[in-house]
Every structure is written in structure tokens, then in C-alpha cells.
Amino acid sequence: MQNLQFTLNKNDKDSISIYDFEFSKDNRLFITYQLSNGRSRDLESYFGSYDLGTKQLFRSQLKFPWSLSGYYLGYGVNRNEVYAIGSNGKFYIINPDTYSLIDTINLSIGGEQSPIVISPDDNFAFVSYPKSNAIFVIDLNRREVIKTISVKKPYNMIIP
């Protein structure tokens, strides 16, 4: 299901703007990006991977709505799932082998978001929207928000 698009940075000219990336366990770099080949910006964001061995970019058919602040990624190594979140308040769960959407969790909030933090056991994801003064705790087994923690300006998070 991988669709070879081009070699990244061929002739020192990228045709994408990368928002975020996560390393996989199999020599891939999962990325969210937007096309930027000299045209005006797309109104969609994309998910794909970059093979660190072959130096090839693979673009999936998976597209996200345009997001003001780009899409952050998280990767659950034990689950082999990729997670993406944008300013639209939706938490996406992606199968990195088929490049397909597994599930979407609505956080009922929007605006600029923080990076995704995954618990060491891969059972929970944490994300915040700073203007909401809240951290959302997502149970990855139940596929739902199980708790909202009120904090003062949770811009970036470090959770042990």
C-alpha cells in the first residue's frame, strides 16, 4: 500500500514541509507534512513515512483537514500504532503498516495543541491545548478520553 513519491531533498530542494516525525522500530520515519512545491499551501495535511535505508518517501492516501499549527505525532511501539493530533481537536489512530485510519477520538476542543506523550506501557496518550488549561488523558485500550486534568498553561509536557 506504499506509494513511492520521490527521494526527499533530491537536488537540495524539498517539495514538502514536515510538521512532525516519529521513528519506528523498522527503520522508517513516520511524518506528517504539507505540500510546499512553490504553490500556495494545500488545505490538507498528509501522513507518510520516510525509509531511512532507501531514502525514499512513501505517501499514504490518508489526509487530514488543514490545521493551523500542523499535526503532532506519537508512536506506540508495543501497539504498532501511530497517533496524530492537529488544531481541529481530533486524535487520530493510524495503522502504520496499511497507512489506514483505525479510529478517531474527538476532544471537543480546538486551537494550538501540544506534542503527544505516550505512557511507557503504551496504554495512555496525553495531549493538551494550552488555551484550554487542560491535559487530556486518552485510554488507548478503550479509545476514549478518560480524564481531563486542569493545569495552568500546559504548553509542553514531560511525563515520566
Across the strands, what pairs with 7?
56
DSSP letters spanning 70-86: --EEEEETTTTEEEEE-
Q: Does residue 84 lie in a domain region? A: yes
Burial classification of residue 129, based on how many CB atoms lie within 10 Å of its CB (0-12 exposed, 13-18 middle, 19 or more buried): buried
Q: What pLDDT does 124 receive?
A: 97
Share of the chain above pLDDT 70, in %: 80
Q: Given the DSSP bridges, would you call strands 28-35 and 117-118 parallel, antiparallel or unpaired?
A: unpaired
Q: Does residue 148 lie in a domain region? A: no
Q: Does residue 55 lie in a domain region? A: yes
Helix and strand totals (H; E) in the chain = 0, 13
In residues, how long is the chain? 160
Contact 124, 141 (CB under 8 A): no
Q: Does residue 10 lie in a domain region? A: yes
Query: What is the domain range of residue 9?
Result: 3-108
Q: What pLDDT does 14 receive?
A: 53
Q: Does residue 97 lie in a domain region? A: yes
pLDDT at 111 over 60: yes
pLDDT at 158 over 80: no
Provide the number of structural domains found in the chain.
1
pLDDT (tens digit, 9 = 90+) per residue, 66-107? 766 778 999 999 999 999 998 888 899 999 999 999 999 998
- Residue range 105-111: mean pLDDT, rounded: 82
pLDDT (tens digit, 9 = 90+) per residue, 17-70? 788 889 888 888 999 888 765 454 557 888 999 888 888 888 888 888 876 677
Contact 27, 18 (CB under 8 A): no
Across the strands, what pairs with 16?
35
Q: Does residue 113 lie in a domain region? A: no
